[in-house]
Each structure stands twice: as structure tokens, then as C-alpha cells.
């Protein structure tokens, strides 16, 4: 599905990463796997450090800390936004929506739309699409888009398929109208027949959590995982990305009327370095234009990785300069989407730690 948005822009990005850092060298003591093979895996995939929350920390805690930082530093006023979109797969509760929890904790005005979206690694692009659509309403002047997840709390430390790469974090993106006649192109696809490739089998209404669903079982390759834990079919995800994303990007560039050489950066979701470099090779983009340095520092925080990539690699440059960027997210659903836009001259683009 091709989408076009006019006169919309990102005016600020803040990312919030937990101060707690785990290392792959520590993690691998939990794996039932020869040390030499773990070290080789680390080298190829780019696993090293990852940031995870302390036990008990929830998505709303990260989001509230980030918004308070913006308010205290006069980067955002509590009354100047009319919609708060939260994209997460790890809400504080089934009900109420965590966006309402955030609104309540900060005493934000009631004349506001609070909206939770259940999306994962494609969640930044999906959230932007929603924000742009809301800005078509005259009464909506500014949208706060929050992407946040604490999925380490649902990942087995004895599952080397998932634990070494998982990261927690949040991002707050300010979206508003552009005074210039800018055009943003996007492309979106979903395939629900592959919904079980990435999932947490237990804990919902289909299979409620119970003592049985908490039992760790050997799920192959000496990985131990319970049904309460995140399950990722790594090979299926890898093949899905390599099959679908090159044509997605090709279609997007054609839709936007630009060539592969024109974007300054390709900020893609960050599952691991190996996958990203294979993707860069396939679509013929230099590695320097497609950073893959997030998973080794922070882990894969699903929908938060694109903002983390932007704040890590551009920092204050984004305040002073403007770039043509291609964003791409892919994951749970399965969902894959990409966006072509001008990004820059923002009010802020920075990262803080949650302690």
C-alpha cells in the first residue's frame, strides 16, 4: 500500500535507554552452549552490550521520565500537544490503555486523544503514519509519538535466540505540520498468515498464564524457554526480511521518484549487524549510509531502534542540518513498512538514561 503525506515533519526526537547494561560475556554463562561458538556468534551478529530495565520498571515509567525531561528543559510544553500515541507490545496493563496511564501520571489536559497501538519493530513507521493522519485535523496541532518496550521482562535468559539481542527503551518523537510544502512517501505491507513467527504464546486470553506456561522447556539447540516468553523464529524472520524488504524499498523509491543513491541515510530497524549488512549488500547501499551499530550498544528495543539509530548517529547534527532519509521497520504481524522523508532542523535530538 502506497501512502503520501503532505506538510508534516518531525520536530524533535528523544530516546530513553535504561542505565542497566548487560554484556554478552555475562549472558553466555546462562546458555547451554560451548563458549567458543558463543564468541563466534557475538562477532558475526554484533552482540556485545544491551540495556534492560530493572525488575518492575514498566513502559509508562520510561515514557513519563522522558516527557518530564522535555517539560523541565522547555523542549515541550504539557499543553501544546493534542494527541499522545503509544506504540508498545509490553503495556503496563491489558486495560486501561497505557497512553491514558501516562496522561494521568502527568496530569495532561483532557482535550487530548490517547491511543495505544500494538506494534513492534515496524512501530516507529506505523506510529508516524498515525501521527501524520491525525494532523489532518485542524484541532490537532502537535502529536507526541511514544515508542516503548520492556520485552526483556518477557525473554528467557536461557534462550540465546532472543536474550542476547533484546533491549528495552523508549523514544518520544514530536510530530507537527510543516510550513514548507514537503511530501513524505510511505509503503506498508502486512501478512497475518505469518503471525506466529514472532509471538508471546501465553498471557493473553487464548492461553492465560499459569504455572504450566511458566515452565522452562528445551525448545531445540539447547535453548530453554517457557510459553510466557517471547518466541522468535530467527531463521523465518531473517528470510522474511531478506525476501520482502528489498522490493519494499524499491517500490518506495519508485513511489517517491528518487534513486537508491539519493537518500543520505537508511535508518532501518536494528535486529543484528549480520542481517543489516546482508540487506545493505542486496539493495546496494554503502554500510556508512545504513548504520548497524545499535544492537551492539543497546540491544534490539523493537520499535525504538530507529529513533535510537537516529539519536546515536546524528545527535546534534540533526538540529543544524537536514537529510533525506529512508526509514524501514519489519517484524511482528508480520509487518513491513518504509518511509521516505526529509529529516532535520529539529529542536532536539538526544538520548538520556533512565535510572
Partner 1 sequence: MKSFVMKPVIEILKEIRPEFDFATSEDFIADGMLDSFDVVNLVATLDKNFNISIAGTDIVPENFKNLEAISALLRKSGAKL
Kindly identify the residues of this chain, within the stretch 185-224, that bind partner 1 according to CB under 8 A. Answer: 221
CB of 161 to partner 1, least distance (A): 9
Q: Which residues contact 87 (CB under 8 A, 6 or more apart)?
A: 116, 117, 119, 123, 124, 126, 127, 145, 146, 147, 148, 303
Q: In this complex, which beta carbon is closest to partner 1, that of residue 37 or of residue 77?
A: 37
334 in contact with partner 1 (CB under 8 A):
no
The interface mask with partner 1, positions 244-283, x = CB under 8 A, is: ------------------------------xx--xx-xx-
The number of residues that bind partner 1 (CB under 8 A) is 21
CB of 234 to partner 1, least distance (A): 6
Q: In this complex, which beta carbon is closest to partner 1, that of residue 96 or of residue 251?
A: 251
Kindly identify the residues of this chain, within the stretch 144-183, that bind partner 1 according to CB under 8 A. Answer: 160
41 in contact with partner 1 (CB under 8 A):
yes
- Let me know: does 338 contact 326? Beta carbons within 8 Å: yes
Q: In this complex, which beta carbon is closest to partner 1, that of residue 142 or of residue 273?
A: 273
45 in contact with partner 1 (CB under 8 A):
yes
Strand partners, 2: 187
Kindly identify the residues of this chain, within the stretch 227-246, that bind partner 1 according to CB under 8 A. Answer: 234-235, 238-239, 241-243
* Residue of 161, 148, 168 whose CA lies nearest to 52: 168
37 in contact with partner 1 (CB under 8 A):
yes
Q: Which residues contact 36 (CB under 8 A, 6 or more apart)?
A: none
State the residues that interact with partner 1 by CB under 8 A.
37, 40-41, 43-45, 160, 221, 234-235, 238-239, 241-243, 274-275, 278-279, 281-282
Amino acid at each position: 500500500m502506497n501512502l503520501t503525506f503532505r506538510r508534516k515533519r518531525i520536530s524533535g526526537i528523544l530516546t530513553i535507554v535504561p542505565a542497566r547494561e548487560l554484556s554478552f560475556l555475562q549472558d553466555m554463562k546462562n546458555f547451554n552452549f560451548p563458549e567458543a561458538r558463543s564468541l563466534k556468534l557475538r562477532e558475526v551478529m554484533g552482540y556485545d552490550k544491551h540495556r534492560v530495565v530493572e525488575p518492575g520498571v514498566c513502559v509508562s515509567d520510561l515514557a513519563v521520565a522522558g516527557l518530564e525531561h522535555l517539560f523541565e528543559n522547555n523542549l515541550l510544553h504539557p499543553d501544546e500537544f493534542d494527541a499522545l500515541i503509544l506504540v508498545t507490545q509490553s503495556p503496563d496493563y491489558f486495560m486501561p490503555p497505557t497512553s491514558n496511564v501516562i496522561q494521568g501520571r502527568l496530569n495532561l489536559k483532557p482535550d487530548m486523544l490517547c491511543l495505544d497501538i500494538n506494534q513492534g519493530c515496524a512501530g516507529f513507521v506505523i506510529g508516524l503514519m498515525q501521527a501524520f493522519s491525525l494532523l489532518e485535523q485542524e484541532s490537532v496541532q502537535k502529536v507526541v509519538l511514544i515508542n516503548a518496550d520492556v520485552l526483556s521482562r518477557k525473554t528467557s535468559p536461557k534462550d540465546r535466540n532472543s536474550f542476547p539481542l533484546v533491549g528495552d527503551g523508549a523514544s518520544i518523537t514530536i510530530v507537527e505540520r510543516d510550513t514548507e510544502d514537503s511530501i513524505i512517501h510511505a509503503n506498508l505491507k502486512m501478512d497475518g498468515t505469518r503471525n506466529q513467527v514472532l509471538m508471546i504464546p501465553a498471557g493473553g486470553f487464548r492461553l492465560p498464564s499459569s504455572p504450566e506456561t511458566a515452565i522452562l522447556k528445551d525448545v531445540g539447540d539447547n535453548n530453554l524457554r517457557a510459553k510466557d516468553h517471547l518466541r522468535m523464529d530467527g531463521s523465518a524472520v531473517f528470510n522474511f526480511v531478506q525476501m520482502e524488504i528489498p522490493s519494499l524499498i524499491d517500490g518506495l523509491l519508485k513511489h517517491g521518484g528518487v534513486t537508491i543513491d539519493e537518500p543520505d541515510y537508511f535508518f532501518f530497524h536494528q535486529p543484528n549487524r549480520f542481517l543489516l549488512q546482508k540487506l545493505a549488500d542486496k539493495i546496494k547501499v554503502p554500510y556508512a549510509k545504513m548504520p548497524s551499530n545499535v544492537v551492539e550498544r543497546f540491544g534490539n528495543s523493537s520499535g525504538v531502534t530507529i529513533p535510537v539509530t537516529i539519536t546515536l548517529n546524528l545527535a546534534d547534527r540533526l538540529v543544524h542540518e537536514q537529510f533525506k532519509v529512508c526509514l524501514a521497520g519489519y517484524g511482528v504481524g508480520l509487518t513491513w513498512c518504509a518511509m521516505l522523508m526529509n529529516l532535520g532542523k529539529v529542536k532536539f535530538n538526544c538520548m538520556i538514561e533512565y535510572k
